Amino acid sequence: MELHNLKPAKGSTHKEKRIGRGQGSGYGGTSTRGHKGAKSRSGYSKKLGFEGGQMPLQRRLPKFGFNNPSRREYKAINVDVLQALADKHSLASIDVQSLIDAGLISKTDQVKILGSGTLTAKLEVKAHAFSKKAIEAIEAVQGSAVKI
């Protein structure tokens, strides 16, 4: 066996269907597209949500709801997470940058500190927002909660 006498296994290849090459090919005339209709025309592309001229679902259903353009999304961080971070890196102050460095938030996130868990370390915490319980927990151990 050499390169010049290699050939594919019997039955593993198929002849290409030559569409639109005259009646003798068996695929002339309508070129396997059937008769008339949008799908038989050149340039046809199915529009998203098109239902053959029937009123599409997204237009049959009523609009509802409201998206507030001035809504602020906060990433919630609990005080027990702050405690774990302070223990791991022996920090006295925790700000947004230290949370980014720890991989807890991304650069564009705004942070809200929540009061779940216990805090034992005296920390100066800087964040965009605090819950009442979080402020109480931080100030109970002589720490400070600074709003950015």
For residue 105, give the CATH number of its domain.
3.100.10.10
- What is the extent of the structural domain holding 117? 74-147
Give the residue from 65, 98, 121 where a domain finishes: 65
Q: Is residue 36 part of a domain?
A: yes
Do residues 24 and 54 both lie within one domain? Answer: yes
Q: Is residue 3 part of a domain?
A: no
What's the pLDDT at 1? 82
DSSP structural state of residue 48: T
Total structural domains within the chain? 2
Do residues 44 and 81 both lie within one domain? Answer: no
Do residues 45 and 23 both lie within one domain? Answer: yes
Do residues 52 and 83 both lie within one domain? Answer: no
Q: Is residue 13 part of a domain?
A: no
Closest alpha carbon to 114 in 124, 102, 127, 99: 127
What's the pLDDT at 68? 96
Interval 34-46: pLDDT, tens = 999 989 999 999 8
* Amino acid (one-letter) located at 29: G
Do residues 80 and 61 both lie within one domain? Answer: no
What's the pLDDT at 63? 94
Q: At what angle do helices 132-140 and 79-89 cross, to 10 degrees?
A: 40
Helix (H, G, I), strand (E, B) or coil at 72: coil
Do residues 78 and 141 both lie within one domain? Answer: yes
- Chain centroid to CA 42: 36
Q: What is the pTM of this model?
A: 0.60
Beta bridge partners of 145: 125
Q: Is residue 5 part of a domain?
A: no
